[in-house]
């Protein structure tokens, strides 16, 4: 299969349009790596103003959120990511788990009454769970909860299933879609640069493979999100190249619904426990840079469980226009944040001078 090199910069486009849309869009600004690097190092007030102006142009004063349940079928995983405290080597290890489809369904009883709008299915790459398990899980969730959107598996898990069953990425995605999946998650992107992935991502798929899986998903009509785990060992240039690769794929397919910049949070007991996490200022600067670089993405998300509530609220002035919402049962991304209710989320948005809107 043909894969686009991750360092290719999208060609400049001047297509009109300044309202948020989920239809394919092309970047109007198409700033180069040099331009973005200069902006990254500009005074904070300058990059804030540029990002906020663009946010207003694309999203207006609306800030979206949703109420989702993270479904993590297993934390058994042998990929060996050096930042991960979620994975366990085998069932029986302290903290290890693997749920049956029936156990997961039992947890979801009453989700409509709780206001859940989305299932976010992601977990470890467990050799005991095959494609039949995941298609059964997805179809059962859709049967029991037809109005709840199913965003199923990351490109990492999809790539592993394709390899295990000797299927193409497209064939694997077709199986998931036929079961009822409407989109795929954005996890596993980390930083696309091979130098960085060799040091932090274990035996995960490459950056090129991540992009190709999302390309094939979009061609099948599945939506997806994109992420970037930043603030560890990557350089600003590698961070920007990651954004440019995403911008190019969005130019091609228009299938990304949002971008989530995830600040690195060191986990005790991991090889990267000693890495210093990014500061609040660096987080806000990266959110702003993401909005400017990815002007063809409908929305930039401030993921408050990682950034913290106060900093995520500030990010609404740095280009973000989605506050993610209430997250049920998140354990992959370690956080000390307490859950927020729908009313607390809406109040945070109003305090920032914006209009809250619940999304599916």
- Residue 56 has what pLDDT? 98
Residue 279 resides in a domain: yes
37 by Cβ neighbours in 10 Å (0-12 / 13-18 / 19+) ranks as middle
Residue 1 is assigned to a structural domain of this protein: no
In this predicted structure, what is the pLDDT of residue 254?
A: 97
The domain containing residue 163 runs over which residues?
Answer: 33-358
pLDDT tens, the chain, 360 aa long: 333 344 333 333 333 333 344 444 688 888 999 999 999 999 999 999 999 999 999 999 999 999 999 999 999 999 999 999 999 999 999 999 999 999 999 999 999 999 999 999 999 999 999 999 999 999 999 999 999 999 999 999 999 999 999 999 999 999 999 999 999 999 999 999 999 999 999 999 999 999 999 999 999 999 999 999 999 999 999 999 999 999 999 999 999 999 999 999 999 999 999 999 999 999 999 999 999 999 999 999 999 988 999 999 999 999 999 997 666 664 554 555 667 888 999 999 999 999 999 987
- The answer to whether position 54 is within a domain reads yes
Looking at the domain assignment, is residue 298 inside a domain?
A: yes
In-domain check, residue 13: no
**Dihedral-angle region of residue 329 (phi above 0 means left; psi in -120 to 50 means alpha; beta otherwise):** left
| Beta strands in 130-219, from DSSP E residues, in sequence order | 149-152, 183-184
Q: What is the structure's pLDDT at 8?
A: 32
CA distance 136 to 318: 41
Q: Are 301 and 259 in contact (CB under 8 A)?
A: yes
Q: What is the pLDDT of residue 341?
A: 86
pLDDT of residue 189: 98
Task: Identify whether 28 is part of a domain.
Answer: no
Tell me the whole-structure pTM to 2 decimals: 0.91
**Domain tally, the chain:** 1
Domain holding 280: CATH number? 3.20.20.70
Residue 149 lies in a domain: yes
Residue 22 falls within a domain, yes or no?
no
């Amino acid at each position: 299969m043909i894969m686009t090199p991750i360092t290719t910069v999208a060609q400049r486009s001047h297509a009109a349009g300044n309202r948020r849309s989920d239809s394919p869009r092309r970047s109007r600004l198409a700033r180069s790596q040099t331009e973005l690097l200069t902006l990254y190092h500009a005074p904070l007030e300058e990059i804030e103003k540029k990002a906020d102006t663009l946010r207003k142009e694309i999203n207006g004063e609306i800030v979206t959120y949703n109420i989702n349940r993270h479904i993590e079928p297993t934390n058994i995983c042998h990929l060996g990511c050096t930042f991960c405290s979620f994975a366990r080597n085998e069932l029986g290890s302290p903290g290890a788990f693997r749920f049956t489809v029936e156990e997961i369904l039992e947890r979801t009883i009453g989700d409509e009454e709780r206001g859940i709008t989305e299932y976010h299915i992601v977990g470890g790459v467990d050799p005991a769970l095959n494609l039949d398990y995941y298609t059964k899980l997805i179809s059962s969730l859709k049967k029991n909860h037809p109005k709840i959107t199913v965003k199923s598996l990351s490109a990492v898990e999809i790539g592993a299933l394709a390899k295990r069953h000797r299927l193409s990425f497209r064939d694997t995605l077709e199986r998931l879609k036929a079961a009822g999946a409407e989109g795929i998650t954005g996890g596993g992107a980390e930083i696309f640069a091979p130098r960085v992935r060799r040091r932090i991502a274990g035996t995960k798929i490459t950056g090129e493979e991540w992009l190709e899986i999302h390309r094939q998903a979009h061609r099948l009509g599945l939506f997806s999100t994109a992420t970037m785990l930043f603030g560890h060992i990557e350089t600003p240039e590698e961070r920007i190249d990651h954004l440019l690769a995403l911008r190019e794929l969005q130019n091609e397919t228009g299938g990304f619904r949002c971008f989530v910049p995830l600040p690195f949070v060191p986990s005790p007991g991991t090889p990267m426990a000693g890495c210093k996490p990014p500061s609040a200022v660096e987080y806000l600067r990266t959110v702003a840079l993401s909005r400017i670089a990815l002007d063809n993405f409908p929305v930039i998300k401030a993921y408050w469980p990682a950034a913290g509530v106060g900093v995520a609220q500030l990010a609404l002035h740095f280009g973000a226009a989605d506050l993610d919402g209430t997250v049920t049962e998140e354990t992959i991304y370690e956080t000390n944040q307490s859950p927020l209710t729908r009313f607390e989320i809406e109040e945070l948005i109003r305090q920032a001078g914006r209009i809250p809107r619940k999304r599916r």
